């Protein structure tokens, strides 16, 4: 079983719609969760972090964490063509480790 799983997509949504990106993880002891955005040919950039159950909102982005279900999601409201990118879910799977474990990413396409 992969440590961090994401649907590779592509996920296609029309402009103005809500895009919902999902991620599951295998280690119940995971403490920190991140969403990175990676444009084609560019490096990943952090867009959201979440550490406790519930929702965290930042502008058009909302991260949702459910530790009981080992599930973290990212909602993008009012999707724009500029949101088209690959979204990487990252998890700190062990309190003894500094590095993050990444999923393979979900490619999002926002259709104008």
Residue ranges in contact with another protein by CB under 8 A: 2, 4, 8, 31-32, 34, 42-46, 49, 51, 88, 90, 92, 97-105
Closer CB to another protein, residue 85 or residue 90? Answer: 90
Distance CA 107, CA 105 (A): 6
Query: How far is it between the farthest Cα atoms of the chain?
Result: 45
The nearer residue to another protein, 41 or 112, going by C-beta atoms, is 41
What is the gyration radius of the CA atoms in the chain, in angstroms? 13
CB of 33 to another protein, least distance (A): 9
Q: From the CB of 90, what's the least distance to another protein, in Å?
A: 8
Task: Give min distance, CB of 19 to another protein, in A.
Answer: 20
């Amino acid at each position: 079983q992969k440590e961090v799983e994401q649907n590779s997509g592509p996920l296609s949504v029309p402009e103005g719609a809500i895009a919902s990106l999902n991620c599951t993880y295998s280690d119940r002891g995971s403490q920190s969760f991140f969403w990175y955005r990676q444009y084609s040919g560019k490096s990943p950039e952090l867009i959201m972090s979440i550490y406790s159950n519930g929702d965290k909102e930042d502008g058009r982005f909302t991260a949702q964490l459910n530790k009981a279900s080992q599930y973290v999601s990212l909602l993008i409201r009012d999707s724009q063509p500029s949101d088209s990118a690959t979204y990487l879910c990252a998890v700190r799977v062990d309190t003894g480790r500094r590095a993050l474990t990444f999923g393979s990413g979900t490619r999002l396409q926002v259709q104008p």
